Chains A and B, each alone.
Chain A
Amino acid sequence: QKEVEQDPGPLSVPEGAIVSLNCTYSNSAFQYFMWYRQYSRKGPELLMYTYSSGNKEDGRFTAQVDKSSKYISLFIRDSQPSDSATYLCAMKYSGNTPLVFGKGTRLSVIA
């Protein structure tokens, strides 16, 4: 079983829809949880960074972490065509350790 599981999609939604992206993980030692956005032919860019269970909101984006279920989510409200990208979940252990990524979900928002 891979450490981090993410449905690769693709996911296609109409403009204005609420998008839900999810990842599950197997190791309860993960402490930090991130969502990266990657546009075509570009490097990943950090979108959201959370520590511990709970919600974090930034504009139209909400990141949710449920450590008891080993499940993280990213919600995008009022989705826009400019949100079309690949979304990668990432997590890490405490300390100077590397990020472990999910496979990424390709999202298309259709105008």
Chain B
Amino acid sequence: NAGVTQTPKFQVLKTGQSMTLQCAQDMNHNSMYWYRQDPGMGLRLIYYSASEGTTDKGEVPNGYNVSRLNKREFSLRLESAAPSQTSVYFCASVRGANTEAFFGQGTRLTVV
């Protein structure tokens, strides 16, 4: 049982480059989330998808786009990476309205 799988685990980008972070869950969960974690800042919500076909902005959406490709997959795209986007990115999924979130192992992104 893989749970929530994120790829890649590590990435170094140059300023201005683009990339897509992939997330897939095999638990048939309805909702999926993208968070970023920075030292001293905790987990901050970037975007979320309450169900297949819907996406909403979170606390820090600027510079990011998302796609809920199907029920399993939720991707996060950086169109033009900036050093301020250096962070650890976590994807999470939730089965239903009032249930726990399961997290992936994270993607460590460095933008130079």
Contact = CB atoms under 8 A, between A and B. Distances in A.
A46 B101 contact: yes
Interface residues of B, number: 27
Nearest to A41: B106
A94 B103 contact: no
* 3 A-B pairs closest in CB distance: A43-B103, A103-B42, A101-B43
Interface residues of A, number: 26
Interface string A69-111: 0000000000000000000101010111011111110000000
Interface of B: 4, 30-31, 33, 35, 40-45, 48, 50-51, 58, 90, 92, 96-98, 100-106
Given A49-B100, A94-B98, A96-B31, A43 B43 contact: no
Given A6-B42, A96-B51, 7 more contacts: A43-B105, A43-B106, A95-B98, A96-B31, A99-B92, A101-B35, A104-B42
